[in-house]
Amino acid sequence: MFLKKTKKLETQIDEYLDLVIKGGLIFKLGIKCYLDNQIESFEDHLKDLRKVEETADDLRRNIEIKLYTRTLIPESRGDVLGLMESCDKVLNITAETLLEFSVEIPKLLPELKNDFLDIAESSISCLENTVSGIRAYFRNVDAVRDYVTKVQFYKKETNKTAERIKRTVFRTDNELSFKIHTRYFTFHIERIAEESEDVCDKLSIATIKRFE
């Protein structure tokens, strides 16, 4: 009986994390469509992603209010809210990046298509494992470490791919503006992995505090 409200909040937190995962998947699809020159589908994905981001924002605020007004998990709510806000930031970066593709329509070298698919894949893997880590933080603290390790691995892979893209583009005869534009988009996709790693750092500390 007394767990009814708690269960509802648990479901809301899970729904929020589902939205973050969904956002990451839409981002990957969006990048693929852009690289395949399917602009209409790309724009649809962008719309979807912005909608997901808005819904996630509302849900997060709702959860925050509940945690504070009901003084739930008083010792951990600072950590929980910090994690959710950081997660939200990563989701915002995915939406912003896709929006920048839509606005600036960067020209990308065809030979870099696979690299861009790879970097999108690995940075979203970072985000997905971060979300799994947060889920584990709520239920299965022992498993958090595994996810953090995975995030660190994918983040390194993302950095490697980003470096490869930049090395390739800066060794072509294209205009400097073209090179810098490519670097700029690489940097934005790479940021998803960087921010995910930051979330994981917070997650590791929060996990240690769980049984203090």
Partner 1 sequence: MDISVWFFISSGLFLGWSLGANNAVSLFGTAVTSKMIKFKKAAIIAGVFVVLGSFISGAGTTATLTNLGGINAIAGSFTVALAVAISITGMTRASLPVSTSQAVVGAIIGWNIFTGSPTDINSLTKIVSSWVVSPVIAGIFGFLIFKIVKNTVLKWKIHMLEIDSYTRTGLIIVGAMASYSMGANNIANVMGMFAPASPFNEIKILDYYSISGIQQLFLLGGLAIAVGIFTYGNKVMKTVGTDLYKISPITGFVIVLAGALVLWLFTSQSLEILLLENGLPSIPLVPLSATQSFIGAVIGVGLAKDPQSINFRVFGKIGIGWVVAPITAGILAYVLLFFVQNVFEQKVIQQVPYEISKSVIEQLEQDGIETEKISDLVNKRFLQNKIFRYELLKRYPYNTEQLYSIFHYAIIDSFKIDSMLVLKSLSDNLLAYDQIEEIKRLHGKSFSHKIDFETAVFYDKNQWELNGNLLRDKNISDKKILIQNIFRVTPLSKAK
- Residues lying near partner 1 in the complex (CB under 8 A) are found at 2-3, 6-7, 9-10, 13, 71-76, 80, 137-142, 209-212
CB of residue 68 to partner 1, shortest distance in Å? 11
Shortest approach of partner 1 to residue 141 CB, angstroms? 7
CA angle, 174 as apex, 173 and 179 as ends, to 5°? 120
State the nearest-atom distance from the C-beta of 66 to partner 1, in Å: 10
Question: Closest approach of Cβ 127 to partner 1, in Å?
Answer: 22
Distance (Å, rounded) from C-alpha 72 to C-alpha 74? 5
Q: Among residues 74 and 110, whose Cβ is nearest to partner 1? A: 74
Q: Which residue from 198, 87, 195 is spatially nearest to 138, judged by alpha carbons?
A: 87
Instruction: Please give the full DSSP string across 136-194, using - where no structure is assigned.
Output: HHHH-HHHHHHHHHHHHHHHHHHHHHHHHHHHHHHTSSS-HHHHHHHHHHHHHHHHHHH
When the beta carbons of 33 and 80 are compared against partner 1, the nearer one is 80
Least distance (Å) between residue 138 CB and partner 1: 5
- Nearest CA-CA partner of 45 in 20, 19, 27, 18: 27
What does the chain come to in residues?
212
Task: Please say which residue, 107 or 209, places its beta carbon nearer to partner 1.
Answer: 209
Q: How far is CA 98 from the centre of its chain?
A: 12
- Name the residue nearer to partner 1 (CB basis): 71 or 177: 71
Whichever of 11 and 172 has its CB closer to partner 1, that residue is 11
Alpha-carbon distance of 179 to 84, in angstroms, equals 35
CB of 76 to partner 1, least distance (A): 7
The tokens describing 204, both together, are 């590791």
Nearer to partner 1, 139 or 167 (CB): 139
